[in-house]
């Protein structure tokens, strides 16, 4: 199924330019959301307090004036497998994947590339009070104006699990104190096992990873070839223990 060139119309809905799923489960399989627009969250698809399984879904060239250019998970516990999120744009947070409002999606085997946003989380953004899990995640060539060119995680220590993750060739581009965490921005920190953070660039500080109030459990992490305009070529730690 391909869903493309659709708008959510008047700016009175909750979002979901290509699709909006609310208060249900079910499944979405082999769907391609392309070239859709939403005034609110979820340029391609918004799951609003709904947890359908999502298998072999692709999100390309979708746009939102709000959060989640590709797909938004709002209070959603979906199981997601074999996901491609490419070339999407958000005016605010999360060019590619947006997780909010106590969402706990489990995302396995995802490629998130060439997405862009005007604030935080060029590829992926996980908001406070969420418990998302990512396995076999590739995040490359994304950009954000402010925090986390590839990924931005604002939830509590170990609230997000990341296992076998590549974060490479992402960047932040903001000026005047913006542009932290070229590869990733972590407020506190996720539980990490096996992560490569390489060749990212920050227009401010933390070329690879910017830790604000450091926490979480990072294990088996390699950080190489990252560059900042200011401080912390590989990792910058601010506060925390």
The string of pLDDT tens digits covering residues 96-132 is: 999 998 889 999 999 999 999 999 999 999 998 888 9
Residue from 79, 182, 63 nearest 71 by CA = 63
- Looking at residue 139, its pLDDT comes to 98
Alpha carbons 15 and 67: distance in angstroms, whole number: 9
CA distance 183 to 49: 30
CA angle 208, 209, 214 (to 5 degrees): 160
For 132-181, the pLDDT digits (tens) are 999 999 999 999 999 999 999 998 778 899 999 999 999 999 886 789 99
C-alpha torsion sign, points 13, 113, 136, 201? negative
pTM of the model: 0.94
| Cβ-Cβ contacts under 8 Å for 90 (sequence gap 6 or more) | 43, 63, 64, 66, 67, 68, 69, 98, 115, 116, 117, 118, 119
Write out the two tokens for 77. Answer: 């516990």
Is the pLDDT score of 12 beyond 60? no
Rounded to 5°, angle at Cα 141 from 185 and 27: 85
| pLDDT at residue 210, as a whole number | 94
pLDDT range class, residue 241, cuts 50, 70, 90: low
């Amino acid at each position: 199924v391909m869903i493309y060139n659709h708008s959510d119309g008047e700016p009175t809905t909750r979002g979901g330019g290509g699709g909006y799923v609310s208060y249900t489960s079910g499944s979405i399989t082999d769907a391609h959301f392309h070239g859709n627009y939403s005034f609110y969250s979820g340029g391609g698809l918004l799951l609003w307090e709904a947890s359908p399984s999502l298998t072999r879904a692709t999100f390309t060239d979708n746009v939102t004036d709000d959060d989640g250019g590709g797909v938004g998970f709002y209070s959603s516990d979906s199981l997601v497998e074999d996901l491609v999120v490419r070339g999407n744009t958000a005016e605010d947070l999360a060019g590619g994947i947006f997780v909010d409002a106590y969402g706990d999606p489990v995302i396995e085997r995802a490629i998130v590339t060439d997405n862009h946003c005007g604030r935080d989380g060029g590829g992926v953004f996980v908001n406070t009070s969420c418990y998302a899990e990512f396995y076999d995640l590739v995040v490359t060539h994304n950009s954000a104006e402010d925090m986390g060119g590839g990924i931005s995680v604002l939830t509590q220590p170990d609230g997000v699990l990341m296992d076998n993750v590549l974060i490479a060739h992402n960047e932040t581009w903001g000026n005047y104190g913006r542009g932290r965490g070229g590869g990733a921005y972590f407020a506190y920190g996720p539980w990490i096992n096996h992560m490569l953070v390489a060749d990212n660039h920050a227009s401010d500080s933390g070329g690879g990873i910017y830790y604000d109030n450091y926490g979480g459990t990072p294990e088996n992490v390699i950080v190489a070839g990252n560059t900042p305009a200011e401080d912390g070529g590989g990792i910058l730690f601010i506060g925390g223990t």
